[in-house]
Chain A
Amino acid sequence: EVQLVESGGVVVQPGGSLRLSCAASGFTFDDYAMHWVRQAPGKGLEWVSLISWDGGSTYYADSVKGRFTISRDNSKNSLYLQMNSLRAEDTALYYCAKDMGYYDYVWGSYRYDAFDIWGQGTMVTVSS
């Protein structure tokens, strides 16, 4: 069964740090780019970060750039999000999601696509 399971969400004080994890199973993890997406309580979806299939490229939303770091360990089929200098506005349910794109060997680049597999999310609350 294709599955993503997030963990690591807790209550943390403003200015604190946290690392989220996402365990993947049921597919060839190192073939795909991966994303983090968050959803504040009662709000819509906000894309947070992307990491390429090999970890060589990363992208961030402006709202988290310089504070969050995405990484992956393909030997462990795991995705991570290191969150530093946390703010109240970072309070949200954090989802990891699999990009359904592929590496185009003809053009020598990854073709990003939609997010076909999502975890159930892990809740991060930033509060004193």
Chain B
Amino acid sequence: EIVLTQSPGTLSLSPGERATLSCRASQSVSSSYLAWYQQKPGQAPRLLIYGASSRATGIPDRFSGSGSGTDFTLTISRLEPEDFAVYYCQQYGSPWTFGQGTKVEIK
């Protein structure tokens, strides 16, 4: 089973700042089968990025994903008020696994 470790656990930033979230896999993620999700309190997760770097439908271009192998990054170029949430990375293979999440909070 591939274990995903996200860092930091919490990121305290102000609106307008850049957010950089890390996701490290315990072994190589094949074919960049790596996704990022956003979850706000009381809501279901929402797909942001798939294939490590492709934005899902309707996702603003301030969200970008990069990386390959075992190291992946989600970048939010300029934080908007609605971006403060918890972010999860996921690898999709058998079995599918999620990271433990990074909370982006208002500083």
Q: How far is the CB of B9 from chain A (nearest CB, A)?
A: 11
B95 touches A47 (CB 8 A): yes
With A44-B88, A44-B101 known as contacts, the answer to whether A118 contacts B50 (CB < 8 A) is no
Which A residue sits closest to B49, measured CB to CB? A114
Residue from B33, B47, B98, B101 in contact with A116 in the complex, judged by beta carbons closer than 8 Å? B47
Residues of B within 8 A of A46 (CB): 98
Given A44-B100, A46-B98, do A113 and B46 touch, yes or no (CB 8 Å)? no
Q: Which of A76-119 contact B (CB under 8 A)?
A: 95, 99-100, 112-116, 118-119
Chain A residues 28 to 75 lying within 8 A of chain B, measured CB to CB, are: 35, 37, 44-47, 50, 59, 61-62
A-chain residues with CB within 8 Å of residue B63 when the two chains form the complex: none
B 75-107 to A, binary, CB cutoff 8 A, 1 in contact else 0: 000000000000010101111111111000000
Q: Please tell me if B35 contacts chain A, counting CB pairs below 8 Å.
A: yes
A120–B56 Cα gap in the complex (Å)? 19
**Inter-chain contacts of B51 with A (CB < 8 A):** 113-114
**In the bound complex, CA of A118 to CA of B35 (Å):** 14
Total count of chain A residues near the partner, CB < 8 A: 22
Q: How many positions in chain B have a CB within 8 Å of any CB in the partner chain?
A: 26
Alpha-carbon distance A21/B99, docked complex (angstroms) = 26
A114 to B47, CA, bound (A): 8
Q: Mark B41-72, 1 if CB is under 8 A from A, else 0.
A: 00111110011000011000000000000000
Q: Are A113 and B50 in contact (CB under 8 A)?
A: yes
Q: Which 9 A-B pairs have the closest CB atoms?
A: A114-B35, A114-B50, A118-B44, A47-B96, A45-B98, A44-B101, A116-B47, A44-B100, A112-B92
- List 24 A-B residue pairs with CB atoms under 8 Å apart, sorted by A's residue number: A44-B88, A44-B100, A45-B37, A45-B45, A45-B88, A45-B98, A45-B101, A46-B98, A47-B98, A59-B94, A59-B95, A61-B95, A62-B95, A95-B44, A112-B33, A113-B50, A113-B92, A114-B35, A115-B90, A116-B47, A116-B50, A116-B57, A120-B44, A121-B44
